[in-house]
Structure 1
């Protein structure tokens, strides 16, 4: 049986985890000197409440190889195949932990880690397509080929409410080099080759949201597109993006989802953006 696993950096709309039978290994979150498991010991409300009260950004860390081993044994049976699809290895050690765990379990089950070079809703789209293909009788090799195609064609573009979180986390390249006086700008970042690069910076929220849509349009062109609008406590921005992408893109599918704690902890509340890829004709 094929088991599909991803991590806490994935953003799924309601119902997808159950429908596509995806197991999510939680990330570790450090708050007040203690380590909590995302979605197990701490939820989104707990995270944002801590940030508001303490004015401190919790640190996150990838699951350890030992946590992966225990997780795989819990969700799979000996002889199963586990397809483990993870956040970009260039910003997180999660994929490498999965690789180490796969080596340890080689005599129990077949674990196939896949580096998405992405995150957020791109992981959800990958998991969805993997399950749909498996249900249609595709081989593992065919599924991996599809994931590789998605990895090469998915656009992930976000705008941050401020650079404070990105500067402290170091997740956005070049952010740390900016002068403190620029923290009031509205940066636009794009996930390219597994890295988050700042691709634009404007003074107003409306311009940054429009820049997100235009950069996504440049990626998918006039082809029909699968689209996700994502946000971290930014419902008004998400609603604007939801309406705007339907005006600018040829939308075949449109979902909306919240950004996970794993992403929000590094980019900050107020982050909003679009994840999209062209539909194959």
Structure 2
């Protein structure tokens, strides 16, 4: 059995795995002012936020062209792989991973396993990293999926966004939650529930929202009861991310804490300056 790992461009991948010979990345398109950009190929995060701020239209995202995905899978087969584990952003954000299930019997010479990470960005990159490490150790499929399930079932993310309008206009958060936030002038904490972004708690200020998220992370650490990593993820907001990492490190001195960023696709939905605080089983 020769296993390839496929993911999409919303995954924030550690440098040490980016050039792995059995890793393949499907770019997710972003449409900005009528022009299509393939994340990670035509546009990177830093450039994107500059374009976003000067755009005349609200940006949108779309699923990759199915024909291009099929060609990628066929190319992987041509390289001698007979098994593909395809790890993708939450079905609650995009229908792409569900689309892949329709392909499981249509690619000759390979067994395809689509996997819904129920998250995105750094935690999804962590899943990809874990899968690649296990493949290198000749782990069985059962062992790989068991590890992915442990990470997925023990990943919690809390999002503090500057403006809810992007999420509402993109259909990733209900209008009701945004309306309540606007009327009460609150700073909401959002989270993922079954892969969907929902309102977790309403807080009166940004400072209190961060403090609350930091406290929740500590509670989740006790619940997980196994080695964890903490992540601070930002949408073109590195200075705040670094400050938040420093605060978390003081509160949880033994924790491994890493900083990552939201790329163009997730940045489109969360908006610039968003910060995510996340804990995940190792």
Q: Is the structural similarity TM-score above 0.5?
A: yes
Contact 1:241 1:273 (8 Å CA) reproduced: no
Q: 1:274 aligns with which of 274, 277, 281?
A: 277
Output one character per residue of 1:153-192: Cα deviation in whole Å (capped at 9) or x when no partner.
1111111112121121121245555158349532211112
Aligned-residue offset at 1:269:
0.6
Structure 1 residues 214 and 180: CA distance shift in structure 2, 3 A: closer
| 1:254 and 2:222 are equivalent in the alignment | no
2:135 matched residue in structure 1: 134
CA distance in 1, matches of 2:6, 2:81: 16
Report the Cα distance in structure 2 between the residues aligned to 1:140 and 1:261, rounded to whole angstroms: 32
Q: In 2, distance between residues paired with 1:216 and 1:22?
A: 31
The offset of 1:93, in angstroms, is 1.0
Q: What is the aligned partner in structure 2 of residue 10 from structure 1? A: 11
Aligned to 2:171: 170
After TM superposition, give the deviation of residue 146 of structure 1 in Å: 1.1
| RMSD (Å) for aligned C-alpha atoms | 2.3
TM-score (normalised: structure 2): 0.89
CA shift for structure 1 position 46: 3.5
Cα distance in structure 2, aligned partners of 1:260 and 1:188: 20
1:42, distance to aligned residue in structure 2 (A): 2.3
> What is the number of residues matched between the two proteins?
278
Give the alignment of 1:35-184 within 5 angstroms. 35-77=36-78, 79-105=81-107, 107-173=108-174, 178-179=179-180, 181-182=182-183
Instruction: Kindly indicate whether the alpha-carbon contact (under 8 Å) linking 1:28 and 1:37 is maintained by their aligned counterparts in 2.
Output: yes
TM-score (norm 1): 0.89
Cα distance in 1 for residues equivalent to 2:35 and 2:236: 25
Instruction: Write the distance in 1 (CA, Å) between the matches of 2:63 and 2:188.
Output: 26
Q: 1:217 — aligned with what?
A: 218
Q: CA deviation at 1:254?
A: 2.2
Q: Distance in 2 between matches of 1:21 and 1:204?
A: 45
Cα deviation, 1:73-115, whole Å, max 9, x if unaligned, reads 234435521110111112211102222233320x221111111
Decide which moves more: 239-248 or 120-129.
239-248
Aligned counterparts of 1:156 and 1:263: Cα–Cα separation in 2: 14
| Structure-2 change in CA distance of 1:260 and 1:136 (3 Å) | same
Distance change >3 Å, CA 252–CA 179, structure 1 → 2:
closer
Give me the whole-angstrom Cα distance separating, in 2, the residues matched to 1:16 and 1:253.
19
Contact 1:174 1:198 in 2 (8 A): no
Contact 1:160 1:272 in 2 (8 A): yes
Q: Which runs of 5+ in 1 are unaligned?
A: none
Segment drifting more, 92-101 vs 143-152: 92-101
The 2-side partners of 1:90 and 1:45 are apart by 26
Structure 2 Cα separation of the partners of residues 234 and 217 of structure 1 = 23
Q: Is contact 1:13–1:255 with CA below 8 Å preserved after alignment?
A: no
Query: Of 260, 265, 270, which aligns to 2:268?
Result: 265
Contact in 1 for aligned 2:160/2:274 (Cα 8 Å)? yes
Deviations 1:191-234 (A, max 9, x none): 12111111123243222222222222221228542122110011
The Cα shift of 1:4 comes to 0.7
Gaps of 5+ in 2: none
Aligned residues of 1:86 and 1:123 also touching (Cα < 8 A): yes
